[in-house]
Chains A and B, each alone.
Chain A
């Protein structure tokens, strides 16, 4: 039986677990409502603050290009392999269509943007995952682009910085998505052996197969405030252990308290800290 047949049986097609509430734009984008404190602010003003709410400090999502602008020296970024697109190894219903939809929505072809640039004048290789593209899930393209970025860093003898944001392995690509965890981690072993710097910055959300591979393998593991970070989903854990979990479970602050992070980094300090770390390793 082909997987297509399963979907024709009129079973309710469930979407992925709900994401955190998104900031709402109003008045044709002029204003934005913070999903946490509900304050309405000027979108332009919010962008000046790197999408961090000026009232409550809530870190709202950033696009890869906003992130690149925030971290790298102006106009220093050159993208690597922007045209790699996913195949459909399981012939999964609606997968191709969903990819195309997210390509239109985000303006890039996959859930990670990689490239070279400079930070405080020092060359680095950078990767930024986009949770708006298939929840940042990792299929063959994400794994391959990150691996090639690491190989590029090895060639250049440059540090690698990665901003992760992912719901985990991309189910629609089956076992091949799982294997990207091994592929990327093996590449990081090469960086490690070469004595090169890898900084992992986990942003909301970093879970499943991404959290259980490269995102946890930084020489320094940082996270933005209140990001959701963990291996298993909260609902599955609650069902398994039959008890309620604390509200801050699997947040950056929770991980810090349990010794799983080097530091929780506010977005406004991000460039300075990364810049300092890169300087300390040149």
Chain B
């Protein structure tokens, strides 16, 4: 892994050392297998130590890793005959959100997700996965189409947030997000949302009003990004690590708050360490969700979705 994260440095160093010893063994014909075995045990220990105790900020870093699989990667591996559909029919096509129709396990579905770029060039084209109103309106158009043709909707959430720009405001960023929240609540077909990376505020939630909401082990979902929270709390964005802890934004936290259904396990170190295994894990999650939801009537789908969000919140009530 070339692109390792700062907290992975000790692991990388140890791994390099083992590689050195191995090549030394080959070149010099000296038997260092005992030494190598010891170091390999140490590596195993170290990996377990680091990866089994990830801190919120470390998870945020994994969620943002440039090699982390994106929406289109999941679509390519888990769906067949994907046909991408473009445009909101009102203004334009926002490439920060992709969507279309495909087969999942032989049945047609609509699949939609935030799409960040996998390199700088693609990030520019996709606006770093931060949608404008037309992105949300395209998503809604495709969801309504799914409803018409009675197929489930699967959404992948992966955005730092809706784009804070002048044009976005002029074209009604607020209204576009609000409309999605309202219309998703009323969809007569099963809706599944999976937070695969970053779940940035209203911009993430706008694809998140689902019957089942799942969240990857190393993803975050929050009212405000760690940097944003840091700026507000300390007038300084550099306390993002502290804010990530304070704001309780990890999958485990959200499960505790009753906001998500399942935590989707990731291969050790994160999805990018073994994308193939990640695909297999996600496939199982989606299979199970669809199986559970496809037996419900349209009315049951709407009512259970309503009740799900209705119970979210915490307050005290007295008679006086």
Contact = CB atoms under 8 A, between A and B. Distances in A.
B173 A6 contact: no
A132 B249 CA distance: 28
Given A189-B185, A236-B164, A231 B223 contact: no
B229 A171 contact: yes
Nearest to A214: B178
Closest 10 CB pairs of A and B: A140-B313, A232-B164, A186-B185, A185-B181, A3-B246, A14-B235, A216-B178, A179-B312, A211-B174, A231-B173
Interface residues of A, number: 70
Given A181-B202, A213-B177, A215-B178, 9 more contacts: A14-B232, A140-B313, A169-B224, A171-B232, A182-B181, A186-B310, A215-B174, A216-B178, A241-B165
A144 interface: yes
Interface string A177-192: 1111111011111101
Contacts of B79: none
A147 interface: yes
B10 interface: no
15 contacts: A17-B232, A85-B316, A140-B313, A175-B248, A175-B254, A180-B312, A182-B309, A185-B178, A187-B310, A209-B201, A212-B178, A213-B178, A230-B174, A232-B173, A260-B172
Contacts of B186: 186, 189, 192-193
A109 B271 CA distance: 45
A85 B315 contact: yes
A89 B164 contact: no
Interface in A41-92: 81, 83-87, 89-90, 92
B165 A213 contact: no
B315 to A, nearest CB: 5
A181 B234 contact: no
Interface of A: 1, 3, 6, 11-14, 16-17, 81, 83-87, 89-90, 92, 139-141, 143-144, 147, 169, 171, 173-183, 185-190, 192-193, 208-209, 211-217, 229-233, 236-237, 240-241, 243, 245, 249-250, 258-260
A217 B169 contact: no
